[in-house]
Amino acid sequence: MIYDNADALHFRQVSTLLRRRWLLIALVTLFGGVVVGAAAFLLPPTYTAKAQMLLVSEIRDGVETMDDAAVATFLELLRSPDQLRRLATNLEEADAVAEDAMGLPGYEALEERLRVFKEHGSRLISVTFSSSNPEVAATVANKTIEVYLDGVTDRLEVEHDKALHAVAARLETARDDLDRTIDELRVYRVANGVIDAGRADEIDIQIGQMSRQLSIASAELATREAQLRSVGENATRVANVDARGAVVVGDPARGDAAGGNVKAQSLRVDRDELERARAEAVARVGDIDERLNALRAAGAAAGEQQIQLRELEREVTAAEEAYESLIRRRADLVSRGPGRPPARIVSLAEVPEVPSSPNPLLFLFPAIVGTAAIGAMVALLLERADQRLRSEQDVEDTLQVPCIGLVPKRPRTLAKDPSDILPQDPFTPYVEAVRAISVAARKRVGSALEPRTFLVTSVAEGDGATTTAVAFALYAARLNRRVLLMDLNVRRLGVAAALGEPEPEELLDEPPENAIRRVEALGVDYLSPLRRDADPLTVLCTDEFPELLTRLAKTYDYIVIDSAPAASATETRLLASMVDRVLFVVKWGATEARAAQAALHGLRAMGGFMPVVSVVIAQADMRRHARHRYGEERNMTTAVQRA
């Protein structure tokens, strides 16, 4: 069946299609079931062994902790390539020393079949290994845990020994540093003497007191100097110096000479006293400053000695603390030991007795369902890819011309008797099909007259055009019609053989009517106006041939022309424009839709008058046609269109 687009496939059509291809689907399903079943039964069962260990949590500030990152890290370490290599080496050595070698797996098998996972969000780690040998599965699962824990234990012992050696080396160095700093402190004390800290404090107190006395003396000196400046300013205001250097006190014009002399004398006396007081203050400031510098020098020397002494004492204290810390570290390492691995074994794997692989019978049903689906898909693809014409619906969908009949294959008994082309029994399927074609072919189209000349052609040789033409002519003769069969297929003159007549002689003389032969047993006339080796267009392209058809049409009721295939014969395309109707024969289940379209296009490409074209499906296998329900396609399509 031909489907132009995906919308043409409906449920009924799909179900019909699947029934049509049931044998293919059954074979694919059977093959798939046998293959899967054989593979399931032939493959050895798989055994899975499981060993478990528990991660040991850490104690931080008295609280037991274990984060997800630590668990994930532990899982990755168990699956790491280095760990798998060590495990493979250990298994190889164990297999080599064993009495009966079990064929323990290598690195690639471990990487593929070894599984390490966490049990339901807990700290319980499971290690599983699958193998066709249950003992191998148990051995590998146990060895995985043992090799890892042994490796961790060895590494902890090595690290512990390294830590002890490192602490011992540092302890010796710390003891030497402590002895050196104590000796330096003792030598410094002997060389510089021990300075009393109380004496240094007393010097600091004296420096403070002298600093305060210096401040008081400096303030007093500043006061005396301010007083001297004030006296000098007053003397300047009351005294005037003349040009000879004599002092004139007062204003003679106003009579103030005596008062001025008294003031000048008083200012002179105050100035002298202030000068003596200032000199005493300067001497006192100098003395205090000298004593203060001496105290500061003594305090500085004492401070430097104290600083150096304190620095040496701090070095001794630091060396003592480092030495004591290393002693405590060594004691802690000795008491704590190498430490424990991050996990402990909970349960070792036992040799499994029941296989972990599913029962082979469980694969049969999914295999049957899957292969049946695959078979159905293959059937759909084959059906969609099959472009051979088998039904009236195929013809009308692809060629866009009506199909007027489906002619079954001729019975085998009739094939042996060329003279009995059309059975005498009018109710046989073959005669019924020819009768339907005869009625449909002679039907008028519109206001046109009843067709009288028919051209019977096909897509390729062997499609049944000659048999259809002869059967059509014989049935018309049974209806008491005068029928003329013309054989214009010069490539293969087959009408005479179909009628059981000898091959006609070559036409040498005119008119062609003289070459018409009568087959009395069948009631038809037969004419072959062309020579076998002649170019048919030399006759068909002349004016005589259309005139011949016109003359013969006046004598005969029907003229049936058997021509060469339309796909390869040019004369057939020319004849199509000379007749009233073309019967285009396609072979059931053999003619491709594209080939038929190309041949039909060739008939229409000649231009001019184009008669009505009707398609006849010949040599149909009616049993397969009915069994595959090709005849239902038209009814289904009509029902879908109505819906």
Q: What is the pLDDT of residues 116-146, one digit of tens each?
A: 988 887 888 999 999 888 899 999 999 999 9
- pLDDT band at 249; cut points 50, 70, 90: very low
Q: Return the minimum-mean-pLDDT range out of 15-29, 282-296, 410-424, 504-518.
A: 410-424
Query: Three-state DSSP class for 579?
Result: coil
Q: Is the pLDDT of residue 594 over 60?
A: yes
- Predicted local confidence at residue 340, as pLDDT: 79
Those residues whose C-beta lies under 8 Å from the C-beta of residue 219, and which sit 6 or more positions away, are none
Can you read off the two tokens belonging to residue 268?
């002179």
- Give the whole-number percent of the chain exceeding pLDDT 90: 8
User: Do the beta carbons of residue 611 and residue 580 sit within 8 Å?
Assistant: yes
- Which pTM value belongs to this model? 0.54
Give 250's pLDDT tier (boundaries 50, 70, 90).
very low
Q: Are strands 47-55 and 343-347 parallel, antiparallel or unpaired?
A: antiparallel
Contact in structure between 364 and 370 (CB atoms under 8 Å):
no
SS3 content of the chain, % helix, strand, coil (to 5): 60, 15, 30
Angle subtended at Cα 581 by Cα 575 and Cα 584, rounded to the nearest 5 degrees: 80
Which DSSP helix (H) or strand (E) runs through 83? helix 81-97
3-state SS, 126-138, equals EEEEEECCHHHHH
Side chain identity at 3, as an amino acid letter?
A: Y
- Give tens-digit pLDDT for 596-640: 988 888 887 765 566 788 999 998 888 887 776 776 655 444 433
Question: What pLDDT, on the 0 to 100 scale, is given for residue 256?
Answer: 46
Calpha distance 53→150 (Å, rounded): 14
Q: What integer is the mean pLDDT of 438-456?
A: 80
Contact in structure between 599 and 565 (CB atoms under 8 Å): yes
Better-scored residue on pLDDT, 257 or 535: 535
pLDDT tens digits along 14-56:
777 777 778 888 898 888 888 887 877 788 888 999 999 988 8
Rounded mean pLDDT, 581-590? 91
**In 3D, which of 353, 386, 306, 302 has the Cα closest to residue 137?**
353
Domains of the chain: 6-43+358-384 (no CATH), 47-153+341-347 (3.30.70), 197-336 (1.10.287), 394-642 (3.40.50.300)
Output the CA torsion sign for 417, 420, 423, 425.
negative
pLDDT of residue 248: 42
Cα 582 to the center of its chain, rounded Å: 59
pLDDT at 610: 67
Task: Write out pLDDT tens, residues 192-222.
Answer: 665 545 555 676 677 777 777 777 878 787 8
The rounded Cα 598 to chain-centroid distance in angstroms is 46
Contact criterion met (CB below 8 Å) for 560 and 456: yes
Q: What does DSSP say about strands 124-131 and 558-562: parallel, antiparallel, or unpaired?
A: unpaired
Interval 363-380 mean pLDDT: 85
Pairing of strands 483-487, 558-562: parallel
Residue 53: partners with Cβ closer than 8 Å, 6 or more residues away? 124, 125, 127, 145, 149, 343, 344, 345, 346
The rounded distance, in Å, linking the Cα atoms of 365 and 69 is 44
Q: What is the pLDDT of residue 210?
A: 76
Scanning 126-196, the segments in alpha helix (DSSP H) are 134-192
Considering 75-89, 269-283, 379-393, the range whose residues carry the highest mean pLDDT is 75-89
**Rounded Cα–Cα distance for residues 119 and 126 (Å):** 7
pLDDT of residue 446: 61
The reported pLDDT for the residue numbered 58 is: 63
Pairing, β 517-519 against β 524-527: antiparallel
Residue 485: in which H helix or E strand, if any?
A: strand 483-487
Strand-pairing partners, residue 526, are 485, 517
pLDDT, residue 586, reads 93
How many other CB atoms sit within 10 Å of the CB of residue 170? Answer: 16
Residue 399 pLDDT greater than 70, yes or no: yes
- Rg of the chain in Å (alpha carbons): 66
| Structure confidence at residue 482 (pLDDT) | 93
Q: Residue for token digits 């049957």?
A: 368
CA–CA gap between residue 301 and residue 291 (Å, rounded): 16
**With contact defined as beta carbons under 8 Å apart, do 597 and 630 qualify?**
no
Instruction: Give the pLDDT score at 640.
Output: 34
pLDDT exceeds 70 at position 265 = no
Work out the number of other CB atoms within 10 angstroms of the CB of residue 369: 13
User: Among candidates 561, 568, 612, which has minimal Cα distance to 459?
Assistant: 568
Residue located via tokens 């009631």: 523
Name the most confidently modeled range: 252-261, 272-281, 386-395, 508-517.
386-395
pLDDT of 254 higher than 80: no
Alpha carbon distance 114, 538 (integer Å): 88
Phi, psi of 248 (to 5 degrees): -115, 120
Tell me, rounded to whole angstroms, the distance of Cα 583 from its chain centroid: 58
Query: What totals of helices (H) and strands (E) does the chain contain, helices first?
Result: 20, 16
Tell me the backbone φ, ψ of residue 10, rounded to 5 degrees. -115, 175
Count of alpha carbons within 13 Å of 624, Cβ hemisphere only? 13
Mean pLDDT taken over the chain: 78
Comparing 249 with 549, which gets the higher pLDDT?
Answer: 549
For the chain, give the longest Cα–Cα distance. 201
Q: Which amino acid is at 346?
A: V
Lowest mean pLDDT among 96-100, 252-256, 279-283, 448-452: 252-256
**pLDDT on residue 48:** 92
Is the pLDDT higher at 14 or at 112? Answer: 112
Q: Which tens digit of pLDDT belongs to each residue from 216-242?
A: 878 787 877 777 777 777 666 655 443
- 567 or 63, higher pLDDT: 567
- 330/247: higher pLDDT: 330
What's residue 234's pLDDT?
67
What percent of the chain shows pLDDT beyond 70?
A: 79
User: What is the model's pLDDT at position 313?
Assistant: 80
Output the DSSP codes for 348-405. PPP--SS-SSPPGGGGHHHHHHHHHHHHHHHHHHHHHH--B--SHHHHHHHH-S-EEE
How would residue 505 be classed by pLDDT, with cut points 50, 70 and 90? Answer: low
User: What are the CB-based long-range contacts (under 8 Å, 24+) for 30-34?
Assistant: 31/371, 32/367, 32/368, 32/370, 32/371, 32/372, 32/374, 32/375, 33/364, 33/367, 33/368, 33/371
- At 378 the pLDDT is 87
